[in-house]
Amino acid sequence: MSEDYLKMMWRRIDFLRVVLEMGYNFIFTDADVMWLRNPFHRFHSDGDFQIACDHYWYNYTDLDNSPNGGFNYVKANNKTIQFYKYWYEAKDKFPGKHDQDVLNFIKYDPFIEKIGLQIRFLDTAYFGGFCEPSKDLNLVCTMHANCCIGLGNKIHDLKMLIDDWKKYMALSDTNKILVKPSWTVPRICG
């Protein structure tokens, strides 16, 4: 949360607005998100801005979900461009706050409803993380080393995650269903 870190995070939000203005949809992913399966068929057809969660409350439209900016899918349109401009400008209302914290404030703002932005939250069953791991390895698409402080801790637990995935992939199709394999992570991050 240093001043330079916050500048970088806000610059990222502004850069992503530029990408949208160029007409490109995008998936943004942090480096500590492990892609295990193709996630595209798990995105919602009706969402302009779709975001992974630290905690998911079983309803993809519930604004009380806890979004995590480390993984999102955004469609290029006027609504998302306006949203990214608004999000970036909102940093001045909440000085010293991270972009994710500001998102948690503005997601309830009447401006979001006014522009018609459809925010959709991605289910942790498919887009898990260390805060709330996916429970079913037969479903999970991505896992994020969120809720983990320290590079060494993240690397340790991500290596464990990769080992878990390799063991799962080595199982027969029948055993993948019968055995119900699970994660050994988070270990240090938990």
Is there a single domain that holds both residue 69 and residue 51?
Answer: yes
Domain count along the chain: 2
Arithmetic mean of pLDDT, 44-65 = 96
Per-residue confidence (pLDDT) for residue 181, from 0 to 100 = 85
Is there a single domain that holds both residue 75 and residue 58?
Answer: yes
> Where are the strands (E) in 10-123, listed by range?
26-29, 33-35, 49-55, 66-74, 119-121
Is there a single domain that holds both residue 164 and residue 75?
Answer: no
pLDDT in tens, 100-145: 999 999 999 999 999 999 999 999 999 999 999 999 999 999 999 9
Query: How high is the mean pLDDT of the chain?
Result: 94
> Where are the strands (E) in the chain, listed by range?
26-29, 33-35, 49-55, 66-74, 119-121, 127-129, 142-144
159 in any annotated domain: yes
From 98, 100, 189, select the one nearest 149 (Cα to Cα).
189
Helix axes 3-21, 99-106, angle to 10 degrees: 60
Domain containing residue 148:
127-178
Per-residue confidence (pLDDT) for residue 177, from 0 to 100 = 86
Is there a single domain that holds both residue 112 and residue 132?
Answer: no
The sign one gets for the Cα dihedral 28, 107, 119, 34 is positive
Per-residue confidence (pLDDT) for residue 1, from 0 to 100 = 54
pLDDT over threshold 60, residue 151? yes
- Phi, psi at 79, each rounded to 5°: -65, -45
Q: Are 126 and 138 in contact (CB under 8 A)?
A: no
pLDDT in tens, 7-45: 878 899 999 999 999 999 999 999 999 999 999 999 999
Q: Are 67 and 21 in contact (CB under 8 A)?
A: no
Q: Are 82 and 46 in contact (CB under 8 A)?
A: no
From 146, 150, 143, select the one nearest 131 (Cα to Cα).
146
Q: Are 166 and 125 in contact (CB under 8 A)?
A: no
CATH code of the domain containing 100: 3.90.550.10
190 in any annotated domain: no
Is there a single domain that holds both residue 60 and residue 136?
Answer: no
Is there a single domain that holds both residue 80 and residue 166?
Answer: no
Is there a single domain that holds both residue 31 and residue 86?
Answer: yes
Is there a single domain that holds both residue 10 and residue 89?
Answer: yes
Is there a single domain that holds both residue 81 and residue 137?
Answer: no
Arithmetic mean of pLDDT, 58-86 = 97
